[in-house]
Amino acid sequence: MKKRHILTALLASVALAGAATACERTLRSADTHPDGYPTVEAVKAMGKMLEEKTNGRLCIEVFFGAQLGEEKDAIEQTQFGVIDMARVSLGPFNNIIEETQIPSLPYIFRSPDHMRKVMAGPVGQQIKDAFTQHDLIGLTFYDAGSRSFYNSQKPIHSMADLAGMKFRVMQSDMFVDMVSALGANATPMPYGEVYSSIQTGVIDGAENNPPSYESSGHYEVAKYYTLDQHLIVPEVLVMSKKTFDSLSAEDQAAVKEAASASNAVMQDLWNKREEASMEKVKAAGIEVVTDIDKTPFIEAMAPVYEKYVTSDKLKKMVEDIQATE
Ligand code: BDP
């Protein structure tokens, strides 16, 4: 290579490096959802606030679309400090952190509003504290609306219609028991495998909130959606404790503040996306069942509560949630 070319190449790489490192340190954050999804945008917004608050010492890059792996793997990598942050559902934590089972219980929250209130209070704090023992810092909880069943076979009008059907659930034993208690069969599997599993008939359907049902494209292969709203599972944004401990006290505070501030962004985007997603799937010809009697569904959950709400600590969490107005 001639000298001039070497120089040009050098300058180009310096320029590139400069562009990428306008920030002193870029934290890598995982998300399973595609670009533009409310959680992805909320963490991006957090990154902007963090960059400002720390005068460019810290930025966040969101690796959306499961680029860093499915949620269970992303959680492990975050615990090890390979990934700095992960925005995930509380569901995949159920088997490792028992406190996370409580806000993941079917029909525990009266509404998404009730969930928000609870997670912003002492129960939310209790769960954040539990994360610390698992090498994670719980930064903030995000909304995820309500999850309902969808399938490729037939409209579900009652529990009897679910009998013998096969649904994918998140990788949590409690969700397997939840589906069994409703008379159906559950297959736990990573989110990214659901589309093809429905398409090939390995499962009849899955369950999720409208934005996930829409953005994943599951509605293309499962056109019956019944709004039984059995789960209101919070999303959580966690940071690796290794990463957090490596920051100055000032930057740790900035991380926590920016995470909390991103909640307002999330809320706004979520409300809009929920509506837009419902419109989109309806326009695509989805059959939505809304007039469903939830009482038998709620009653059927008694064995799940019995099996999972075992210690005094967990019972108290349930009571605290129910007592939250
Ligand atoms: C979505 C959550 C996402 C989960 C996914 C799932 O936002 O974190 O991975 O459900 O069902 O609603 O796995």
Where residue 217 sits, what CATH number does that domain have? 3.40.190.170
Q: Are residues 56 and 157 in the same domain?
A: no
Q: Are residues 111 and 74 in the same domain?
A: yes
Protein residue with its CA nearest to atom 4 in ligand 1: 89
Identify which of 29, 32, 94, 219 to mutate to test ligand 1's pocket (most ligand atoms within 8 A of the CB): 32
Domain span at residue 311? 147-232+282-323
The mean per-residue pLDDT over the stretch 279-294 comes to 97
Q: Phi/psi of residue 136, each to 5°? A: -130, 150
Tokens of 310: 């075992």
At residue 22, the pLDDT reads 80
Q: Are residues 52 and 187 in the same domain?
A: no
pLDDT averaged over every residue in the chain:
94
Q: Are residues 23 and 138 in the same domain?
A: yes
Pocket around ligand 1 at a 6 A CB cut-off: 32, 71, 88-89, 144, 170, 191, 208-209, 212, 235
- Whether the pLDDT of residue 62 is over 50: the answer is yes
The mean per-residue pLDDT over the stretch 17-37 comes to 85
Identify which of 191, 266, 270 to mutate to test ligand 1's pocket (most ligand atoms within 8 A of the CB): 191
Distance CA 196, CA 138 (A): 33
| pLDDT, tens only, 103-133 | 999 999 999 999 999 999 999 999 999 999 9
CA end-to-end distance (rounded Å), the chain:
72
| Ligand 1: nearest atom to the Cα of 169 | 11
- Whether the pLDDT of residue 9 is over 50: the answer is no
Nearest CA to 281 out of 195, 205, 218 is that of 218
Distance CA 321, CA 121 (A): 10
Q: Are residues 178 and 290 in the same domain?
A: yes
Q: Are residues 118 and 181 in the same domain?
A: no
Q: Sort 33 into a burial class: Cβ within 10 Å, 0-12 / 13-18 / 19+.
A: buried
The mean per-residue pLDDT over the stretch 86-101 comes to 98
pLDDT band at 223 (very low <50, low <70, confident <90, very high): very high
Tokens of 293: 């009697």
Q: Are residues 220 and 292 in the same domain?
A: yes
Q: How many CB atoms lie within 10 A of CB 16?
A: 10
Q: Are residues 200 and 112 in the same domain?
A: no
Q: State the total domains in the chain.
A: 2
Q: Are 164 and 145 in contact (CB under 8 A)?
A: no
Q: Are 220 and 162 in contact (CB under 8 A)?
A: no
pLDDT band at 14 (very low <50, low <70, confident <90, very high): very low
pTM confidence score: 0.93
Protein residue with its CA nearest to atom 5 in ligand 1: 191
Q: Are residues 184 and 259 in the same domain?
A: no
At residue 21, the pLDDT reads 54
pLDDT band at 259 (very low <50, low <70, confident <90, very high): very high
The mean per-residue pLDDT over the stretch 287-315 comes to 97
Interval between CA 6 and ligand 1 midpoint (Å): 48
Nearest CA to 208 out of 149, 266, 136 is that of 149
Q: Are residues 72 and 125 in the same domain?
A: yes
Nearest CA to 84 out of 258, 240, 237, 251 is that of 240
At residue 67, the pLDDT reads 97
Q: Are residues 219 and 139 in the same domain?
A: no
Q: Are residues 134 and 271 in the same domain?
A: yes
Q: DSSP class of residue 234?
A: P
Q: Are 205 and 150 in contact (CB under 8 A)?
A: yes
Interval between CA 322 and ligand 1 midpoint (Å): 25
